[in-house]
Amino acid sequence: MGGEDPSDYLTGVLRSEWLKIRSIRSTYVVLAVAAAGVLLAALLAWWAAGYWDGATAQSRQHFVLSPTAPLIGWLAQLCLAVLGVLVITSEHSTGMIRTSVAAVPRRRALLAAKAAVVGAVALVSGEAVVFATYFVSRWIIGGRPLRFWTSPVSSEVPLLLSWGLSVMVFALIGLGLGTVLRSTAAAIVTVVAVWYALPIVALHLPASWGPWVSAVLLVNLPPQLAGASRLSPGQVSLLSPAAALLVMAAYVAVAVGGAAIALGRRDA
């Protein structure tokens, strides 16, 4: 291996990781669940459209269909984070990791290749799911003037792009947690805590600093990255788009950096 071009080496590692992710069943299950989110959103929109058509003018005033794309983006965050976890923990549970580390003794190269593959898959599928959700829902709602559903499509693009990006960030957090914890169950439960429990805990924090905690959570970063003025009816945005992007980058840096330290220091 000594005489080889280092870029060939990395290309080989990347190709092997790409082959691994394509050849395990869980990848397809995860992607299918994320895609099923589009159908769920379509169902929600279809139901809302039916309600709208049958409702009186008064009940129409009170009716809100929350934007579906963030909801499905939030679901896709979990799905792809699980993929990120499995990419490394499945190797630990089957013992494959020893073969991998023997074949690629430069562990950081191995991790970088895994991060690149998982990140690319998550970015593409995250964007695809979020955009598909938006366009399918919008198509079902059609011309009905529902609140949140009348703005021009072009004004929604930054938010959709941001949600897709957050899916990639979550996938890399999953990879980092999987590498550090080495246990599928522990890593997935930690992902769920970050994904679900922290936003709820943040709602109960003191008003002086609780909103700042909320603002840096991944469920709230996409709207801030897209420059929205409000996060939810209860909270205004606190971060500029650039700051939101920096916080996202910090999540990735901590997750992948922590993983690099853990993988480099410990025996496989």
- Contacts with other proteins by CB under 8 A lie at 26, 29, 33, 40, 44, 47-48, 50-51, 59, 63-66, 70-71, 74-75, 78-79, 82, 85-86, 93, 183-186, 188-189, 192, 196-197, 199-201, 203-206, 219-220, 232-234
CB-wise, 18 or 46, nearer to other proteins?
A: 46
State how far the Cα of 27 lies from the Cα of 79, in Å rounded to an integer. 10
Q: How far is the CB of 22 from other proteins (least distance, A)?
A: 18
Give me the sign of the Cα torsion angle 54, 57, 63, 66: positive
How is 137-172 classified by DSSP, letter by letter? HHHHHTT---BTS-S-HHHHHHHHHHHHHHHHHHHH
Q: Considering the complex, what minimum distance in angstroms separates the CB of residue 195 from other proteins?
A: 9
- Minimum CB separation from other proteins for residue 44, in Å? 6
The DSSP output letter for 240 is -
Instruction: Output the CA–CA distances (angstroms, integers) from residue 218 to 2, 5, 7, 121, 222, in the order listed.
Output: 43, 39, 34, 19, 7
| Minimum distance from residue 17 beta carbon to other proteins (Å) | 19
Query: Which one-letter DSSP state was computed for residue 64?
Result: B
Find the helix or strand (DSSP H, E) in which 233 lies. none
Based on CB atoms, which residue is closest to other proteins, 74 or 251? 74
Residue 152 CB neighbour total at 10 angstroms? 7
Min separation Cβ 71 and other proteins, Å: 6
Q: Which is nearer to other proteins, 13 or 48 (CB)?
A: 48
Instruction: Using alpha carbons, select from 127, 116, 126 the residue that is nearest to residue 21.
Output: 116
Of 178, 177, 217, 181, which Cα lies nearest the Cα of 197?
217
Nearer residue to other proteins within complex by CB, 16 or 26: 26
Min separation Cβ 82 and other proteins, Å: 6
Question: Is the Cβ of residue 14 or residue 24 nearer to other proteins in the bound state?
Answer: 24
**Nearer to other proteins (CB atom), residue 59 or residue 240:** 59
Q: How far is the CB of 21 from other proteins (least distance, A)?
A: 15
Closer residue to other proteins in complex, CB, 86/140: 86
Separation between Cα atoms, residue 14 and residue 9, nearest integer Å: 9
Consecutive H or E run containing 236:
strand 235-236
